[in-house]
Amino acid sequence: MNDRYSRQVLFPGIGKEGQAKISKKHVLIIGAGALGSGSSEILTRAGVGKLTIIDRDYVEASNLQRQQLYTEEDVLEKLPKAAAAEKRLGAINSAVEIRAIIGDATPELLEELVAGVDLMLDATDNFETRMMMNDISQKYNIPWIYGACVGSFGMSFSIIPGKTPCLNCLLRTIPLQGMTCDTGGIISPAVQMVIAHQTAEAMKMLVEDWDAVRTSFVSFDLWRNQYTSLKMSKAKFAGCLSCGEERTYPYLDHENMTKTTVLCGRDTVQIRPSNKGEISLDNLAGQLSALGYTVKGNPYLLSVEIGAERMVIFQDGRALIHGTKDLTHAKSLYQRILG
């Protein structure tokens, strides 16, 4: 497949030299939902050297409308998104080294994963993880590209440590916290538009064309036909705790990490155990079946029916409890099943 990248090499912004650079770079994508599916596919097709992708969820029918890597078979198998993405991306371009991680993006895990990473892409659905990425970016001097979408609205911003303001600086002028839940639904073109902005910026950074990187905060509404580009050159805040002189990286503080979270826009609570360690899903399935529970699973997870709720348990002991937003109730179910 010698002419595999010929059209990209013909593009003056990339050329042979740019392609050689792309093939040596390592990108970390946090999230393998709608944004992560699209950006990982584009970068895999573009021939990035190494791609690490992390996700905590598994494929469900409601994902298929916009999460382009997944199929009906993945839904039937309840495959974790990271595992399904790894399989699909590997089939698209076998020359790319793909590492998929099924798990939650904790500060501890991110600090381990960023070794040797040239660039991070935001494909998360929650504010906490984005702020964590922002601190990691500043601490390890790795650029990252913010992206978010809801409904027909989307936005993106490129963050280069030491050069641009960081996401924490931006919070002083733009209320980004409300932009994280997809309770109002979402259309796929809005996702694709954010992916296009993020991956174009990614390519500029991978070929080290730093002057081409967009310095404004871009947002759009594809249904209302609105496009805005906000200058951010004055947004850098000297007292910022993430990128200022007296920085403390507040979002990497392990104590600040919530262990029980209601997932965005869904009747689902996630519980992460405080003690790390793998559990044997086979043994657990046996015990639960003996107790009369209906249990289904695959090598990565177990799904257990508990009355009106359903609990999905991963190897690391993390669980998603579907059918509730009540944290106390979810914790009592977790206790009942995992002791």
Q: Does 235 bind Zn ion (CB under 5 A)?
A: no
Residues that contact Zn ion, how many (by CB under 5 A) = 6
Q: Binding pattern to Zn ion, positions 237-256, x when CB under 5 A?
A: ---x-xx-------------
Site for Zn ion in 250-289 (CB under 5 A): none
Q: Tell me whether residue 6 or residue 233 sits nearer to Zn ion (CB atom).
A: 233
Count CB neighbours of 120 within 10 A. Answer: 26
Strands 319-322 and 309-314: antiparallel
* Interface with Zn ion (CB under 5 A), residue from 110, 123, 160, 166: 166
Nearest distance, CB of residue 242 and Zn ion, angstroms: 5
Q: Does 160 bind Zn ion (CB under 5 A)?
A: no
Q: Tell me whether residue 170 or residue 207 sits nearer to Zn ion (CB atom).
A: 170
Among the candidate windows 54-62, 164-172, 283-291, 308-316, which touches Zn ion by CB under 5 A?
Answer: 164-172
Q: Tell me whether residue 184 or residue 250 sits nearer to Zn ion (CB atom).
A: 250
Nearest CA to 266 out of 106, 11, 63 is that of 63
Among the candidate windows 95-103, 169-177, 181-189, 191-199, which touches Zn ion by CB under 5 A?
Answer: 169-177
Q: Does 131 bind Zn ion (CB under 5 A)?
A: no
Q: Binding pattern to Zn ion, positions 46-75, x when CB under 5 A?
A: ------------------------------
Q: Tell me whether residue 134 or residue 270 sits nearer to Zn ion (CB atom).
A: 134
* Interface with Zn ion (CB under 5 A), residue from 83, 169, 186, 311: 169
Q: Tell me whether residue 179 or residue 241 sits nearer to Zn ion (CB atom).
A: 241
**Angle between helix 34-46 and helix 188-206 axes, rounded to 10 deg:** 40
Residue 131: both structure tokens together: 């702020």
For residues 202 and 145, is the Cβ–Cβ distance under 8 A? yes
Nearest distance, CB of residue 167 and Zn ion, angstroms: 7
Q: Is the dihedral of CA 285, 289, 292, 297 positive or negative?
A: positive
Q: Does 145 bind Zn ion (CB under 5 A)?
A: no
Q: Tell me whether residue 46 or residue 240 sits nearer to Zn ion (CB atom).
A: 240
Instruction: Give CA 186 to chain center in angstroms.
Output: 17
* Interface with Zn ion (CB under 5 A), residue from 67, 156, 168, 199: 168
Nearest distance, CB of residue 206 and Zn ion, angstroms: 24
Q: Tell me whether residue 43 or residue 131 sits nearer to Zn ion (CB atom).
A: 131
Q: Does 159 bind Zn ion (CB under 5 A)?
A: no
Taking CB atoms, the residue at the shortest distance from Zn ion is 240
Nearest distance, CB of residue 305 and Zn ion, angstroms: 46
Strands 50-55 and 97-102: parallel
Binding site for Zn ion (CB under 5 A): 166, 168-169, 240, 242-243
